[in-house]
Structures are given as structure tokens and as C-alpha cells.
Amino acid sequence: MLREPNGRGGSEEVFRELREGSEFSSSKPRNHFKLAESSEFVLIAGGIGITPIKAMVDEVRIRGAKWHLHYGGRDLAHMAFVDELVALGGENVSIVPQNEDGLLDISSIVENLSTDASVYCCGPGPLLEALTTACAEAGVSERLHFERFEAPAGGPDVATDSDTAFEVELRSSGVTLQVPKDKSLLEVIQDVRADIPFSCTEGYCGSCESVVLEGEPDHRGTLMSDEEHDEEGTMLICVGRSKSSRLVLEL
């Protein structure tokens, strides 16, 4: 784990408080970056974004699918799994240390996609923005899947000056609450459910994802598309609101 002095405090606390033998509680992992079925995969990782991508390399090899990994980082000394990945993939792996070869050539990667390739990427904001732009220009956005570990620049692109109040029922908790236009759904729910998990409060990590039983959510996050949330019947309560006057959550 990387210690980040200027982060949100999580890594600092781990390095400061945890020792061998320390016990702590943890929830089960939730996967919002699932590897779908495809005959070919183009995997792109930037920096610590190699963590989920490395697991995908292992999976596509098991499946016997065609694949190629493009892995960029500041320099080889800060790039994890390099030797292992090269040994596993050989010519299927392109290692691009920035101090030697510059940034990943996203335009070239997208231009050379085959018609069967699904694209999976995890990395810093500039990498994801470059990739989403290139895929949009090439008309292949539907084949792009990505995971963020930081919010996109500017946060969710949603105007908030027209927000209105609405009612939310927490079905399992047996309470109904009023959400004013100047408070988030998460803030209101925390008044009665302090145990609700959350982290980024910017709609990209998925920690606060909640099941919607009734009503029409106003999705404002970047974790998944509105259509994906509606298909799963979920919403992110840290940034999401309601298009209907009443919303019913499973909480």
C-alpha cells in the first residue's frame, strides 16, 4: 500500500495505527468493475491502476481470450508486477515508463482496436479522460469499461441550482425523511443511520450504493451509467437525488 501524506487520511491511518496482529472489521468487497464476456481484451493501466488490471490479466489468460496490456507509470521503480507481467504475457504486454518512453499513446491504442476488442482501464484522471475522449471520437464508447480512483475534474457535471426537496422512505429502517434542496441524501440518511458506509462523497467509489425500491432516482455519479444503475436497481446516495417527489430505498 502506498502512503499518501496529502490524501484523504486513509493510508496515513493505516501506516500509523496498524501493526502485525492488529484486528479490524471489514465489509465484503463489492465489484463494480466486472470483466464481461469477450473474445478479445485491451487492458490499460496507469500507476496503481494495475491492481485490478493485473487480476484481469490472470482471468483472461484462464479464459484463453486474446489480450494485450498497456501499462504506464512514472518509472520502472514505481511500477508493480512488471517482471511478473512480462513473464506471463511476453509480447502481449507493453510496459511504458514515462521517464523513458513518455505517456501511453492512447490515440494509437484506440485507432488500432479490432472490432472484437473490449477495453478495460484503471488509472489517474488524465488517462481516463484521454481514453474516454478518444473512444468517443472513434465511436467505440460502448466498448469502454473503466474504474476511477479519483473523481473526474470538476466532479459530476450536474447543475444544482434547480434542486428541489423530496421525501425518502427507508423501508428496512421504518422511517420516512424529508430531504431539503440544500442537503444531500446521504447527509439526511446519516441522521438516523450513522452506520451507512460511504467514502468519496463524489459519486465514483460505490461505497454508498443503495437499492432503490420505488421512485425515479436522479443519478449524478460517475461510477456507472444511469442505465447500468437502473438495470441493477441502485443509486449512489452521496450525490444522487430524486426526480420523483418520493423515493423508497431498501435501507
How far apart (Å, rounded) are the C-alpha atoms in residues 243 and 223? 19
Residue 207 has pLDDT above 90, yes or no: no
Answer yes or no: do 96 and 188 share one domain: no
pLDDT at position 9 over 90: no
Q: Would you place residue 80 in the very low, low, confident or very high pLDDT band (cuts 50, 70, 90)?
A: very high
Together in a domain, 33 and 144: yes
pTM above 0.85, yes or no: no
pLDDT at 151: 59
Number of domains in the chain: 2
Does residue 114 lie within any of the structural domains? Answer: yes
pLDDT of residue 53: 95
pLDDT mean over 75-100: 94
Q: DSSP letters along 179-223, please?
A: E-TTS-HHHHHHTT-TT---S-SSSSS-TTEEEEEES-EE---SS
The answer on pLDDT for 107 being more than 70 is yes
User: In CATH, what number is assigned to the domain containing residue 228?
Assistant: 3.10.20.30
Q: Is 18 domain-assigned? A: no
Average pLDDT, stretch 55-61?
95
Specify the pLDDT at position 73: 96
Of 67 and 152, more confident: 67
pLDDT exceeds cutoff 90 at 6? no
Any domain includes 9: no
CATH number for 84: 3.40.50.80
Residues 138 and 191 in one domain: no
Domain encompassing residue 175 = 166-249
| Residues 37 and 137 placed together within one structural domain of the fold | yes
| 185 — pLDDT class (breaks 50, 70, 90) | very high
Q: Of 120, 148, 176, at which residue does a domain stop?
A: 148
Does the residue 84 lie in any domain?
yes
